[in-house]
């Protein structure tokens, strides 16, 4: 049996998988695209990882190791080929208080616990709840993210050594002025121009990589005095080594790290799953949410034991990767390996790259990430949707991505509940036998239960009243209480109520709640699903 499995696996390796899309089949051309895309991403990861390490208050190598390990594991096992993960600002701003108060060892322990929580979320398949994020929230999310990425790049326009990195924009420090500022702006503009023009000339080399290479060659060749990667910090180091976090294994430690771990796990998963959806829209892929949760969790557990600050999906780098043509896992794996090679062997060369080139790449990411069409549709969509788009954008910039998404989902849910609450109404008519029929329209739930009760004219109705739910749904406990309230009012004046056309799920809900005894010989077609009399104020079996 084992030999058969191995033989089938070898056969699959030897023969092309015809089920793959053409751009996913491993050909020399595809391999070239993936490797170059991975190199481009790796170059863009270096200053990001260093900056976010500064935000968290840890050594730059702690951020670089996280970018390598999280990026490698999620590239191998994540839910969406093409996604890039690493150290992120959204997590760093949460970590800074923990590191400042308790030290980096508690951070490593927190990252391990964070990873365990994320794995549990994946096993429980909680990732599917990302489907509850409405489209206006997604638009606000990407718009806010584009603004955050833009603001984060402004720190590079400050005098090296004077910059205080901030999670959402430029911190303290002196701005560049005069010739250094003009030179920086010119190189940024040149990088952006190359990225824009390169696809029109040739697609042999990814446009972002071409922009970085040309600008770096100009700066190094002419010896221009501009900020470079090495001005932020040295990225030279060795291989990450296994390291058990040096914290006491007791309840007090758990009380310290657990709140941070929960917040970090939630923020990381929200950002990763939204990136999953965004990349999926660009590549035409769906699913993989639970797998991504598990991959993110496993990568963070590993990172915590190897001296990294943890991480999650990076939308900016993912956009660079996908727009460079990457469609498989190879690019993410290559990016992680390139990053490690930079740390081990090529730090002097990488530290010579001008920051202006990397800023130009990220500015192009901002332009490509921002949903410009959302500006056109603000006056065309419902007012509440436009409000949610703007709200999520603002909260993303002022707070963080996770808070913005939660706020957007809550506001959207409340708006949906309010709109449905206003839909409850009824049509009435009197049958030849003299019974009055109420045809309920709209869902019956907590938001519409009061409106449902107010629809009935108990004093003027005849002795037999039929409530027809063919165009309605009984949703929750509040709906059941509303039905009983109506029944009680009619019972008090000696009148009878009959319920009709309840759906199968309404039957189950009513039975489960114990409010009604459903007859076992109900009409299987549910044309007369329930027919109950009211006795002593409680609906009983007919």
Give the pLDDT confidence score for residue 496 in this predicted structure: 87
DSSP result, 160-215: TT-----SSS--SSPBP-HHHHHHHHHHHHHHHHHHHHHHHH--SS-HHHHHHHHH
Distance CA 202, CA 305 (A): 44
Both structure tokens of 247: 């914290």
Instruction: Give the global pTM.
Output: 0.76
Q: Which residues contact 297 (CB under 8 A, 6 or more apart)?
A: 114, 115, 116, 117, 118, 119, 120, 121, 122, 265
Handedness of CA 246, 249, 252, 255 (dihedral sign): positive
Q: Burial, 371: exposed, middle or buried (Cβ in 10 Å; 0-12, 13-18, 19+)? A: middle
Q: So where are the chain's domains?
A: 27-371, 376-420, 423-540
Residue listed under structure tokens 């001005």: 231
The confidence band for 36, taking pLDDT boundaries of 50, 70 and 90, is very high
Q: Which residues contact 177 (CB under 8 A, 6 or more apart)?
A: none
Q: Provide the 8-state DSSP code for 375.
A: H
Q: What are residue 71's DSSP bridge partners?
A: none
Q: Are 193 and 210 in contact (CB under 8 A)?
A: no
Judge whether residue 507 has pLDDT over 80: no
Between CA 176 and CA 181, with CA 177 as vertex, the angle to 5 degrees is 70
Q: How many residues does the chain have?
A: 542
Q: Which residues contact 501 (CB under 8 A, 6 or more apart)?
A: 468, 469, 470, 526, 527, 528, 529
Q: Provide the 8-state DSSP code for 228.
A: B
Judge whether residue 343 has pLDDT over 70: yes
Fold assignment, 423-540: Transcription Regulator spoIIAA (3.30.750)
186-200, 278-292, 405-419: segment of lowest average pLDDT: 278-292
Q: Which of helix, strand or coil describes residue 84?
A: coil
Both structure tokens of 279: 């990349």
The confidence band for 508, taking pLDDT boundaries of 50, 70 and 90, is low
Residue listed under structure tokens 């998963």: 269
Distance CA 397, CA 145 (A): 7
Could you give the angle at which helices 355-369 and 28-56 cross, rounded to 10 degrees?
Answer: 100
> What average pLDDT does the segment 334-359 reach?
94
Judge whether residue 523 has pLDDT over 50: no
The confidence band for 471, taking pLDDT boundaries of 50, 70 and 90, is confident
Both structure tokens of 28: 């020399």
Q: Are 335 and 83 in contact (CB under 8 A)?
A: no
Judge whether residue 454 has pLDDT over 60: yes
**Mean of all residue pLDDT scores within the chain:** 84
Distance CA 336, CA 291 (A): 20
Q: Encode pLDDT of 303-320 as tens digits.
A: 999 999 999 999 889 999
Distance CA 334, CA 43 (A): 12
Pairing verdict, β 85-86 and 436-441: unpaired
Q: Which residues contact 398 (CB under 8 A, 6 or more apart)?
A: 168
Q: Encode pLDDT of 118-136 as tens digits.
A: 999 999 998 888 888 888 9
Residue listed under structure tokens 């076992």: 520
> What average pLDDT does the segment 97-120 reach?
96
Q: Burial, 362: exposed, middle or buried (Cβ in 10 Å; 0-12, 13-18, 19+)? A: buried
> What average pLDDT does the segment 314-343 reach?
93
Q: Are 308 and 10 in contact (CB under 8 A)?
A: no
First to last CA, the chain: 61
Residue 172 has phi, psi (to 5 degrees) of -75, 175
């Amino acid at each position: 049996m084992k030999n058969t499995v191995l033989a089938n696996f070898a056969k699959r390796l030897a023969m092309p998988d015809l089920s793959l899309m053409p751009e996913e089949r491993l050909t020399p051309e595809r391999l070239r695209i993936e490797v170059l895309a991975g190199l481009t991403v790796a170059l863009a990861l270096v200053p990001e990882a260093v900056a976010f390490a500064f935000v968290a208050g840890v050594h730059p190598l702690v951020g670089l190791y996280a970018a390598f390990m999280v990026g490698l594991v999620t590239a191998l096992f994540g839910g969406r080929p093409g996604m890039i993960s690493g150290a992120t600002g959204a997590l760093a701003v949460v970590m800074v208080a923990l590191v400042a108060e308790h030290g980096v060892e508690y951070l490593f322990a927190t990252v391990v616990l964070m990873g365990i929580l994320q794995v549990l979320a994946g096993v429980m398949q909680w990732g599917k709840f990302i489907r509850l994020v409405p489209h206006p929230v997604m638009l606000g999310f990407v718009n806010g993210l584009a603004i955050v990425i833009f603001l984060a790049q402004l720190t590079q326009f400050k005098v090296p050594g004077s910059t205080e990195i901030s999670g959402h924009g430029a911190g303290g420090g002196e701005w560049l002025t005069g010739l250094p500022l003009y030179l920086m702006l010119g190189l940024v503009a040149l990088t952006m121009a190359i990225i824009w023009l390169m696809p029109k000339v040739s697609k042999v080399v990814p446009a972002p990589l071409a922009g970085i290479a040309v600008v770096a060659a100009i700066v190094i060749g002419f010896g221009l005095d501009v900020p470079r990667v090495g001005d932020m910090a040295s990225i030279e180091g060795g291989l990450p080594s296994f390291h058990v976090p040096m914290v006491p294994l007791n309840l007090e430690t758990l009380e310290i790290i657990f709140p941070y771990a929960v917040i970090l796990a939630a923020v990381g998963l929200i950002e990763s799953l939204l990136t999953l959806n965004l990349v999926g829209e660009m590549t035409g892929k769906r699913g993989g949410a639970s797998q991504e949760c598990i991959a993110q969790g496993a990568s963070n557990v590993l990172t915590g034991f190897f001296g990294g600050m943890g991480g999650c999906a990076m939308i900016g780098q993912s956009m660079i990767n996908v727009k460079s043509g990457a469609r498989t896992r190879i690019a993410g794996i290559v990016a992680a390996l390139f990053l490690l090679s930079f740390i081990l062997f090529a730090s002097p060369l990488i530290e010579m790259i001008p920051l202006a080139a990397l800023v130009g790449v990220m500015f192009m990411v901002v332009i490509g990430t921002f949903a410009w069409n959302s500006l056109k549709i603000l006056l065309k969509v419902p007012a509440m949707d436009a409000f949610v788009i703007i709200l999520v954008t603002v909260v993303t910039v002022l707070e963080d991505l996770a808070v913005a998404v939660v706020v957007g989902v809550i506001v959207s849910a409340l708006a949906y509940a309010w709109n449905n609450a206003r839909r409850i109404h009824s049509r009435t008519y009197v049958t030849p036998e003299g019974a009055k029929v109420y045809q309920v329209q709209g869902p019956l739930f907590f938001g519409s239960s009061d409106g449902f009760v107010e629809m009935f004219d108990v004093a003027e109705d005849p002795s037999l009243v039929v409530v027809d739910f063919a165009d309605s749904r009984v949703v929750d406990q509040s709906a059941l209480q509303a039905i009983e309230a109506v029944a009680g009012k009619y019972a008090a004046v000696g009148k009878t109520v009959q319920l009709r056309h309840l759906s199968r799920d309404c039957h189950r809900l009513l039975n489960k709640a114990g409010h009604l005894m459903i007859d076992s010989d109900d009409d299987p077609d549910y044309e007369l699903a329930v027919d109950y009399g009211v006795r002593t104020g409680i609906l009983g079996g007919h």
